[in-house]
Amino acid sequence: MNPVSKFTPKIRREKTALSNSDLSKKKQDTVQVFCRLRPLNDDEESSCIKLLSPTVLSLTTPAQSRAIRKEIQCTFKHIFTGYASQNEVFEHVAYPLLDNLLKGKNGLLFTYGVTGSGKTYTLTGNHANPGIMPKCIHTIFNSISEFQAPKYVIKPDRMNGFEIQSDGEVAQDKWNELKSTSKTPLRNKKVNKDKTYINDGIKIIDVNQNNLYSVFVSYNEIYNNIVYDLLDESKTLESKILREDSQKNMYVNGVVETEVKSAEEAFELFNIGQKRKRMGNTILNSVSSRSHSIFNIRVVQFQQVAHNDEGHQMIPDTNLLKVAQLSLVDLAGSERTNRTKNTGQLLKEASQINKSLMSLRTCLEVLRKNQMTNSNEPVPYRDSKLTLLLKNFFEGEGSVAMIVCVNPSVEDFEENLQVMNFAETTKNVQIAASESRYNTPHKKTICKRTATPNVCKSKGSFTFGPKLPKDIKINFSNPEESQIALENLASILKIRIQKTRDFSEQPENNFRKRLIEVEKENILINSDIKSVKTQLRKEKLKSTNVEAKLGDMEVYNRDLIGKNKELQNEIMSLRNIIAEKDLKINKNIVEKEKTEQKMALRAEKMTHELDAKLRRQREHLQAAMKAKENKIQKVREILDKELTPPDIEEKEPLQEYDPQQTPKQQPQQARRNGAATTPAVRRRRSRSAGDVWLEHNSVKPVPLGTVLQPSMKKRKSVTKLSKASDITNPKQSKYCLIAQEQDLEGELETKVYKGDILPTCGGGAQVIFNDVEKLRQESPTATK
């Protein structure tokens, strides 16, 4: 093969479902669908499934379900109740597939159902009740135990085919096996009882006793849509790729396919794979399969050796290897997240399981649609590794049987409804009846008594003289004619005898020389053949290594392409996020500017409103103060009119003025002391002698120059009280507030509010007003 041709793209139409015309040419066969009901647990009292006949059951909607209450009937090839034994399931389902297997026909058996419905128990079983897989292995070796070919005579070619080895290759393989066992410690021949299965002694009756048989097993799993080899001896399982062989059949590239000579060897390999199989603990099942497992059994048969005239064993040149495969598939159970409550890795595994099962359903639905409508819609086998690996069986490369495992509990009603719909779709899919597969090895002849292949050439015997007549007719009714025929035969025999004697009388030395020359030529030819075989083996090994590396590079390239797409998608998502954030930032900036403008307008409006409100309050207070001043002025006028003569005034003691008492309270105090009820005259005088005044001028007053101008020797003048220290200064004891304003008539009026500065308990100070001095200037000529 030209290595460059491997990289040349080949455009080939994907083979789809068989059309009606193809099915009419071949014998039609449908997928055989069986059903097995799991027994109810003790805590499960009610069932949603009712058995109507050995092939029909009804599925009833439970009362607590929200779905419309209805009854659905489903038909199967056979229904196994919860009391059915493993032997009954094996005889109905697997025994016909084994019969076809030993006749050279392929077979596929897979179990389908929800988690915890009994799929693994149906296929594997236990020590006391073996499942389908152990019974198949026991039945095969019970049937061909006397007709097995010697080990290593048949060997896989690692391209989904087989070849016959020469005696040298067989000896080399045996030596390698002996050398590997000598390096490792001896294996314990006693197998654990829980790792073996009871042999029921079942056999296939009509086995071809003229053939020799070799059995090969392999064990694969599909986990998260990645294919792994469970019999690979490497420490970590490596992903495998699917390839297509010369007969357009899919196979796992580089899979370990081991020849077994007994059921115990097959069980040992199966147990090794079971330890590496991925299991998980969920709410519905404590030992739940997290992957699809595929256990393959391949039987290779060929005609027994014949004997030639010299008594040597040989295989005829026209002999063909008949290869048949039985695949036992344990599908992982479909799950619903709201029931299993899976999270993390278990949730990811459940997602991949449901996705691959959905791909299987989609492929079968498309197959059924193509057959019913006579269309040619492509079947999406490549959506999942599971469907791609099983593609050949659905396209007529073998018989297909499915066991639907069902838990009849009411809690599993919705899952069972989906399972029944899938079963109804599957049982109507038609496939072409399987035929025997042949693998044509190199034409070799088995020489010697060891029955191992070697290339031999048979030589005919030497003939001397004329040929003997093919038939001699003796006619007893005509003796003369018979006598003539006998005389002719006698003359021919005499001539042949004479020539044979002449040849035997040749010198022995000449014959020896010729024999030595022939032997030398034979030795040279054999050495050339060995060197060519060695070179061919090396080239074949190189080609195998190159193919393996090419496959690894393809997987690596595919992974890089996938990672590149993921990174590009992540970059696009990040760009989108950045663009969204930029838009949000710009939007926030615009909203912020609008908010600031609104706040500025609102603050300006509030400022105007507050100014207007303060102006109104000031005007109101001014009016109130003017009204009070008018009242005080009237009271003063009344008091001035009621003043007594000066002599009486001097005799009366002057009552001390208490600034904290009101004018009404002072006469009452005088009465309690026994004084006269005549009010005391208040003398106006300045109290500014010897005190430090705080003069507070809210406006710059107009100089008065009159007697009402307060005389303050020590004072501090301020126009605005901006800090607390202006009042709390301990040196200051008096406070004076000077204000000037126009009255209602337009005349200038000056008011001097006087008070004492008293310290408070909190360290501050308060002002108590005790005197008000007024100066009113009027023009004498002005008209009022």
Beta-carbon contacts of residue 694 (< 8 Å; ≥ 6 apart)? 715, 716, 718, 726, 727, 729, 732, 734, 735, 736, 757
pLDDT digits (tens, 9 = 90+) for 141-182: 999 988 898 888 898 888 888 888 877 788 888 888 877 765
Residue 6 in any domain: the answer is no
Q: CA nearest 363: which of 347, 378, 350, 341?
A: 378
Residues 35 and 137 in one domain: yes
Residue 640 in any domain: the answer is no
Residues 414 and 557 in one domain: no
Residue 509 in any domain: the answer is no
Q: Domain range for residue 551?
A: 519-621
Pick the last residue of a domain from 621, 637, 664.
621
The mean-pLDDT minimum among 53-57, 199-203, 240-244, 690-694 falls in 690-694
Output the pLDDT for position 498.
73
pLDDT digits (tens, 9 = 90+) for 671-682: 444 444 444 444
Confidence of residue 325 (pLDDT cuts 50, 70, 90): very high
Annotated binding site for ATP: 113-120
Q: CA nearest 89: which of 293, 328, 419, 332?
A: 328
The mean-pLDDT minimum among 208-222, 642-656, 708-722 falls in 642-656
The mean-pLDDT minimum among 105-119, 286-300, 302-316 falls in 302-316
> What is the pLDDT of the chain when averaged over all its residues?
77
pLDDT digits (tens, 9 = 90+) for 609-648: 999 999 999 999 999 999 999 999 888 888 888 754 554 4
Residues 492 and 534 in one domain: no
Q: CATH no. for residue 716?
A: 2.60.40.4330
Residue 665 in any domain: the answer is no
Pick the last residue of a domain from 583, 604, 621.
621
pTM, two decimals, is 0.54
Domains of the chain: total: 4
Residue 659 in any domain: the answer is no
Q: Are strands 258-260 and 226-229 parallel, antiparallel or unpaired?
A: unpaired
Residue 651 in any domain: the answer is no
Residues 471 and 411 in one domain: no
Q: CATH no. for residue 371?
A: 3.40.850.10
CA 477 to chain CA mean position, Å: 97
Q: CA nearest 342: which of 291, 281, 431, 426?
A: 281
Residue 146 in any domain: the answer is yes
Q: Are strands 734-742 and 748-759 parallel, antiparallel or unpaired?
A: antiparallel
Residues 487 and 581 in one domain: no
Asked if residue 316 has pLDDT above 70, the reply is: no
Residues 175 and 110 in one domain: yes
Please tell me the distance from the alpha carbon of residue 446 to that of residue 452, in angstroms, as a whole number.
5
Residues 214 and 76 in one domain: yes
Please tell me the distance from the alpha carbon of residue 784 to that of residue 775, in angstroms, as a whole number.
18
Output the pLDDT for position 569.
92
Residues 392 and 499 in one domain: no
Residue 650 in any domain: the answer is no
Output the pLDDT for position 39.
87
Residues 153 and 287 in one domain: yes
Annotated binding site: 113-120
DSSP 3-state of 746: coil
Which amino acid is it at 420? M
Residues 433 and 477 in one domain: no
Pick the last residue of a domain from 601, 621, 641.
621
Residues 253 and 115 in one domain: yes
Residues 427 and 367 in one domain: yes
